[in-house]
Amino acid sequence: MKRYLILVGLVYVLVGCADTHKIIRQDVVKDFRITPNDKICISVPIDGLYRARVYKGSGENTSRIIYSEFMKRSRMVKLSAAFQEFEAVQEEAKSANCKYLVHSTILNWEDRATEWSSIPDKVEIKIEIIETLTSNTMLLTIIKGTSGVATLGGDHPQDLLLSPIGKFVSSLYF
């Protein structure tokens, strides 16, 4: 019985440490791809919230992760300075001669004290890639992440975005 409890505890710790990610990609334009020479503009989403709590800085964190991944693959990437309404950021992208606007929206942002509550952190963002000249959406993607329940603390929702955003952005290039 004692061995069984130890085994169950070990399985809980190993499984509970694993973060889960889900990328739901909807190609509006079939087989959409970006080349390294395409100029990209990245918008800053409004800060995420859960119930009445606003997570200050979450929009900037999200945009910086997206920006970092595009910078690994494109020669020209512009990051907006702060959150702007869609029409304003779209105009900014046109003025900067960007071919595509990468517009993200935080749908869910839950930063929990998982280490003592066993309630996982959660994040969900929507990323749209819009052709600047036509304003047509080329691609729409939802990225979801959930932390493991057995953490040592210090994890945050933005940590759940690094891997799936990297995979998503990588899939856009030839």
pTM over the 0.75 mark: yes
From residue 146, alpha-carbon distances to 95, 118, 130 in Å are 37, 12, 27
The tens digit of pLDDT for each residue in 67-89 reads 999 999 999 999 999 999 999 99
Domain ranges of the chain: 19-170
Q: Domain 19-170 falls in which CATH fold?
A: Rossmann fold (3.40.50)
The helix/strand/coil state of 23 is strand
Instruction: Band the pLDDT of 42: cuts 50, 70, 90.
Output: very high
